[in-house]
Amino acid sequence: MSTATTEKHVFQAEIQQLLDLVVHSLYTDKDIFLRELISNASDSMEKVRHLEGTEKHFKDAGEELQITLEANKDAGTVTLTDRGIGMTREELIENLGTIAHSGTKAFLEQIKANGGSSSGLIGQFGVGFYSAFMVADKVEVFSRSWKEDAESLRWESDGKTGYEIEPVDELPRGVKIVLHLNEASKEFADDFRIKGLIQRYSNFVGFPILIEGKRVNEVEALWLKNKSEITDEEYKAFYQFACKGFDDPTYRLHFSADAPITINALIFTPGENPEKTGFGKVDGGVALYCKKVLIDPEPKGLLPEWLRFVKGVVDSADLPLNISRETMQDSALVRKLNGVITKRIIKMFEKEASADPAKYRDFYKKFERFFKEGIATDYSNKDALAKLLRFETSMTEAGEVCSLTDYAGRVKDGQDKIYYLIGSNRDQIESGPYIEAFKARGLEVIYFMDAVDEYVVDSLGEFEGKKLVSVRHAGVELDDVDSDADGLSEEQVNALCEFLKTELGEKVTKVSSGKRLVESPVIALVPEDGMSPQVRQMMKAMDENFKDEVKVELEINPRHALIKKLSETRESHPEVAKLVAAQMLDNALISAGLLDDAREMIRRMNALMEKAMQ
């Protein structure tokens, strides 16, 4: 109701433009109006705290620094009261009627720079107070500034063209905002509903928020406290209550940084892998805050996908409160946060692993797949992640593990490769013919025994300049090794190789004598770019018509009794020699996991047995 002392004002043209945007297109999620108003109230009370310490003239009537909320169903209103610094008449005009303050100004400047279009910019800038008009068709602001002899005032607007200001009876210091909810937003005139909004978005605000005299935000913003003031129990309680962790956390990382961006972060790794028990992929568990106010409980792009198992909070004062979910992933700030936090988390794992290897091993057993996914998908962190891998090798005891760094630290002089073999278990790997040559030369071979390791090795390619090489591959050069056993002469070897190549035809690309073998007569080597037995198995399982001509290179051991015997038999009993040649290839293919159809082999075995008994 206007009186003689009522001042009428028209919004600046830009504010009208802004209001129009706010109401019609700015927010996809109108829930957040309360968060914006609570955030303003909290900022204002922070300023009171500051004034108490710095301003001689600051008079305090003993007001409690708290926020009260009241929902009135009948009147269709929500009222929010704070005991902050309040606003004078000039400040009401300046703050709620012009674009003097930075967030809004920057927003509109961007729109102008964009040729008047707001698309792509929406949500990147703070428009705080004006979000009240998303849910209200009339907003009243009662205000009294902390300044001496400040007027008690009422500001009112319908959020369309202008506002009015009039003096009212004496008010306590601070601001009271009354939202007269519009038809579509009446649901908010409900204690239960607004309590839910507070717990979702404003649970960690540093002042009590009261509804009906009861505090509804109960959790402290632990991440902003000093590490030395927090007990393990408090950390654990925070993990379980605030991060909804259902177990005991294994590791935690609590840090703050100022450059290149302000960060306060508190991150936990859970005790159990939530994806292991068959629940499928989990959503990210690290929420994003700006000065204790929730921006997004599951922000996209804050952390790489492979870190979805960690839980916690990241708070950055540099973020605009209104950064929208849609623009989150494209935001340079969020990318910066991602870079810094991910590196810190990886560092944390590295430190924990060396501080307590046994604990890390247990953790690793449950979570290794995430690290491996990271190596395959997160290019920028691949090398750092490689250091977190653990595996058995030909030099570890069964069940003991080591890292690539351990391996690299004990390679023989001049060894510029890292040797590995993929297989399903240690016994299977060690009983095959591939390892013996490396063992005989004291070369360590990594045993990769997880179904996904193949992709990990492919993605990794090398570690600290040393190429990862499968011992199954042809073309691995090995030094001579002393051997007491007499072998065939060069001439005999050449003749035998020629014989075998003729007999085996297209099935082998090459037959040669090699230095690899000690105890086995032959070995099948696959080309470096060929399909591995693991991948072949998978293809076969998926497609019953899958056919892949296996072409291998055969290497013979000229010191082996069977080979020497074959060299003689080739001339004395060519019929038997032919059967033995074919059987030797099949044996090598079985060892390599590459024999698809054993029917022909069985017929041949029968023929061989018959001959052996003659």
Q: Using CB under 6 A, list all residues that contact ligand ADP.
A: 40-41, 44, 82, 84-87, 95, 101, 103, 126, 128-130, 175
Query: Which residue, 25 or 425, is less far from ligand ADP as judged by CB?
Result: 25
Residue number with CB closer to ligand ADP (52 or 458): 52
- Quick one: DSSP state of residue 392? E
- Cβ proximity to ligand ADP: between 130 and 463 the closer is 130
Question: Least distance (Å) from ligand ADP to the CB of residue 77?
Answer: 17
What 99-105 contacts at long range (C-beta under 8 Å, 24+ apart), as own/partner pairs, is 99/12, 99/14, 99/15, 99/18, 103/127, 103/128, 103/320, 104/14, 104/15, 104/18, 104/130
Please tell me whether the peptide bond between 260 and the residue prior to it is cis, using omega within 30 degrees of 0.
yes
Q: CB of 178: closest distance to ligand ADP in angstroms?
A: 13
Q: How far is the CB of 87 from ligand ADP (least distance, A)?
A: 5
> Least CB distance from residue 237 to ligand ADP, whole Å?
32
Q: For residue 288, give the amino acid letter.
A: L
In the complex, least distance from residue 84 CB atom to ligand ADP, rounded to whole angstroms: 5
| Minimum gap (Å) between residue 122 Cβ and ligand ADP | 16
Question: Residue 181 has which token pair?
Answer: 């909810």
Q: How many CB atoms lie within 10 A of CB 511?
A: 21
Residues 124 and 367: their CA atoms lie apart, in Å, by 36
Give whichever of 101 and 336 is closer to ligand ADP, judged by the CB atom: 101
Query: Sign (positive/negative) of CA torsion 473, 477, 479, 484?
Result: positive
Smallest separation, CB 179 to ligand ADP (Å): 13
Residue type, 1: M
Considering the complex, what minimum distance in angstroms separates the CB of residue 538 from ligand ADP? 54
Cβ 290 to ligand ADP, closest distance in Å?
A: 11
- Residue of closest CB approach to ligand ADP: 128
- CB atoms closer than 10 angstroms to residue 134: 22
Sheet with 293-296, strands from edge to edge, namely: 251-257, 263-269, 311-315, 285-290, 293-296
Helix, strand, or coil (residue 367): helix
- Count of other CB atoms within 10 angstroms of residue 484: 5
User: What are the tokens at 476?
Assistant: 């691995």
Report d(CA 248, CA 376) in Å as an integer.
29
Closer to ligand ADP by Cβ: residue 197 or 243: 197
Distance CA 564, CA 569 (A): 9
Cα–Cα dist 191/202, whole Å? 15
- Closer CB to ligand ADP, residue 2 or residue 102? 102
- Choose between 98 and 256: whose C-beta lies nearer to ligand ADP: 98
Decide whether 129 or 499 has the Cβ nearer to ligand ADP. 129
The CB-of-168 to ligand ADP minimum distance in angstroms stands at 16
Task: For 321-362, give the DSSP string.
Answer: TT--HHHHTT-HHHHHHHHHHHHHHHHHHHHHHHH-HHHHHH
Nearest CB to ligand ADP, comparing residues 318 and 430: 318
**Cα–Cα dist 438/479, whole Å:** 10
Please, which residue, 40 or 264, has the CB nearer to ligand ADP? 40
Please name which of 207, 211, 161 lies closest in space to residue 191, comparing C-alpha atoms: 211
